[in-house]
Structure 1
Amino acid sequence: MSRTMENKIGRLVSGIGQNAKDVLEKTKNLAVQVADQNDDGKFDMEDVSVMASSFGDAVKKGAHSLKETVDEKSKQMEIKTLKPFFMEDLNGFSMPRFIRVVERDKKHAESEICKGSIGFWADFNDNRLLNIFRDAMEVYGLSFYPNSEGEFYYVDPINKDNYIALDEYFNYLKQVRISELQKIAQDLGAKYFRVTYKEEKSSFTEKKAGGKIGVKSNISAEIEQNCNEKNYSKIEIAAEMRCPGHGPVEPQLRYMKYDPTISNLVEMRMNAQGALSHQTLTLKLSNSSGLKESEAAKIDAILKGLKCAGNLTVLSETKNEARRYLEYEIDF
């Protein structure tokens, strides 16, 4: 090979080597820029320390974020389980008709989520029960009959802030209606009145009386009707009084407000101008009871869910009201 050819090859190899060196140098500079954490133009142990610290901060931030997510989910699960009820929940809140009064239990007392709670909800399929903590009863602004020492209460039908112990409910309504009939008689100026409580016997069969009625047009119709005679298991005089009598003053009806029989009596007496002298009325207690059968069935379902059902169901007692009457005899 001639010297001229050797010189050309040498220059070519030298050029290639320089290009490769330049590429390597640029790559190195880029790596140093990426790894250079303290901006001193070189990659050293200080940069390694800074990178380690940055990596640690990222890990800590990720762990903190994960902890917040877990804590939030745990909080929501606890709320869903304990269902706390707070004082601020009373704003614009309509109290349910049926409530329970309980002691503050350990799980609600020790939970940070339930701190400051005044009760909690309990669900029984489609039925929901508000449990009021006994130590927070006063904040509800309610009154309780006969006292606040009971467990289950149902709302008074004419006073939404008064709750009646469930075991006393039907007897309480019986007594207040008898008292109201006495007050009505006095306001209307009665000279005598008597209230008799009657309870119809329950039976599995009902006697029917069939007969034909003939009319002048020779058209006969066959009718079927209940026997007029009723058998009662209990009859007692609940109230009786003789009074001097006076001109009528319109009474303020409360429990008997929606009983059409009483409303009619008041209207006749106020407009009778002395023509009304004697009335005997039969009042069906179920007409003025605030507890309907559908609501009674829900209460029974809740009591069954709590394993608190007694030897009598609320539904059966509500149905019994249809067999109870107050006979109201009044003279003017």
Structure 2
Amino acid sequence: NTGLVVLAGEITTNAHVDYIQVARDTIKRIGYDNTDYGIDYKGCAVLVAYDKQSNDIAQGVDHASDDHLNIGAGDQGLMFGYACNETPELMPAPIYYAHRLVERQAQLRKDGRLPFLRPDAKSQVTMRYVDGKPHSIDTVVLSTQHDPDQSETQHSMKASFTEAIIEEIIKPVLPKEWLQDTKYLINPTGRFVIGGPQGDCGLTGRKIIVDTYGGACPHGGGAFSGKDPSKVDRSAAYAARYVAKNIVAAGLAKQCQIQVAYAIGVARPMNVTVYTEGTGVIPDDQIAALVNDYFDLRPKGIIQMLDLLRPIYSKTAAYGHFGREEPEFTWERTDKAAQLRAAAGLK
């Protein structure tokens, strides 16, 4: 919140990158292009503190085997993937629609339809479930940064601001049939002028639940952003989503959670577990056997399977890593569904 951007970490590369310009371009793209917002891309300071990866780590990742497919995992840990049939994208409905709300907030801010909005925003959707299925939306929370003149005490200005958010952002995104006695909490503190890095010191990896499934399934604790795909925190979580989504798309279950465990320097997972919470049409252990047959969950196997050695990760930094039909998001494909269905003996 002092106008300083710090880029820190360890990396092994022969590439020459203008890190400072990348940081400035990113800040500009987000929308911090005015000193009134607390930081702007032209005047901020950027400190680069990158170092070489530890040799002790590198030797386990780079030289686990002469077979290039057997490079070791970049760390130990558990990774989870999840899919369910609550939305066409096979995502839990609350997190899916929460992402769509802030995505629309950014769209209306950038195209000038709601020019009083500023870049910072966050949302939360609370749903009612009946018999395990989404029934209606109980509460929508949408906090959005705004110009100072939107904080005046006049009732009419407050009302028009709230009405604009509900009518222009919320209602066009959420299914009408779910808006039954829904409560809307728009900037519930009453004022949101100071936001972004001026209001809170940011740190990559702080919001791991909003990056994934909104609490619908466990999380292994490892953040995604800032890591290359040799780090299974990222690549194995993407692969687990890919596996779970194909299982649900194949009709093997209505919901599916995949847990994968790794040891640093070891290529093959220590364990792959499937949970379908009683929705599977065949036993979970049989589905797990199909996973082992049709998905290579070694780090290099994942990298090849999902084509992860590409500059594709910028889009993942906002609006979620999952449930988006972006061409770069190969882990959202359902190209294994037909094979899984046939192997399970389903017509």
TM-score tier, shorter chain, comes to under 0.3
Return the structure number with greater strand share.
Answer: 1
Q: Which has the higher contact order (CA 8 A, sep 6+)?
A: 2
Return the structure number with greater helix share.
Answer: 1
TM-score under structure 1 length normalisation: 0.21
